[in-house]
Structure 1
Amino acid sequence: MSKKILIVDDAAFMRMMIKNIVIKNGYEVVGEAENGKQAVELYANGSPDVVTMDITMPEMDGIEGVKAIRAIDPNAIIIMCSAMGQQSMVMDAIQAGAKDFIVKPFQQDRLLQALERVLSRGK
Structure 2
Amino acid sequence: MSQKVLLVDDSGVMRKIILRALNAIGISDVVEAADGAQALALFGEESFQLVLTDWNMPNMNGLELLKAIRSSGSTTPVIMITTESEQGRVLEAIQAGASNYLVKPFEQETLMDKLQKYVAVSA
Structure 1 and Structure 2 fold alike (TM over 0.5): yes
Which structure exhibits the higher relative contact order, with contacts defined as CA atoms closer than 8 Å and separated by 6 or more residues?
2
1 or 2, which has the higher strand percentage? 1
SS for the counterpart of 1:81 is strand
- Secondary structure at 2:16 match in 1: helix
TM-score relative to the length of structure 2: 0.87
Q: For the aligned residues, what is the CA RMSD?
A: 1.7
User: 1:85, 1:99 → 2: CA distance?
Assistant: 16
Post-superposition offset of 1:87: 3.6
What is aligned with 2:44? 44
- How far the C-alpha of 1:76 sits from its partner, in A, is 1.4
Shift of 1:10: 0.8
Structure 1: unaligned runs, 5 residues or longer: none
Residue of structure 2 in register with 1:110 after alignment: 110
Provide the secondary structure at the position in 1 that maps to 2:5.
strand
Structure 2 gaps of 5+ residues are: none
Residue equivalent to 1:27 = 27
Give 4+ residue runs of structure 1 displaced > 3 Å after superposition: 84-87
**When the two structures are superposed, what TM-score results if normalisation uses the length of structure 1?**
0.87
Q: How many residues align?
A: 120
Q: Which has the higher helix share?
A: 1
Q: In the alignment, is the contact (CA less than 8 A) between 2:10 and 2:57 conserved in 1?
A: yes
Question: CA 1:20–1:39 in structure 2 vs 1: closer, same or farther (change >3 Å)?
Answer: same
Whole-Å separation in 2 of the counterparts to 1:82 and 1:24? 21
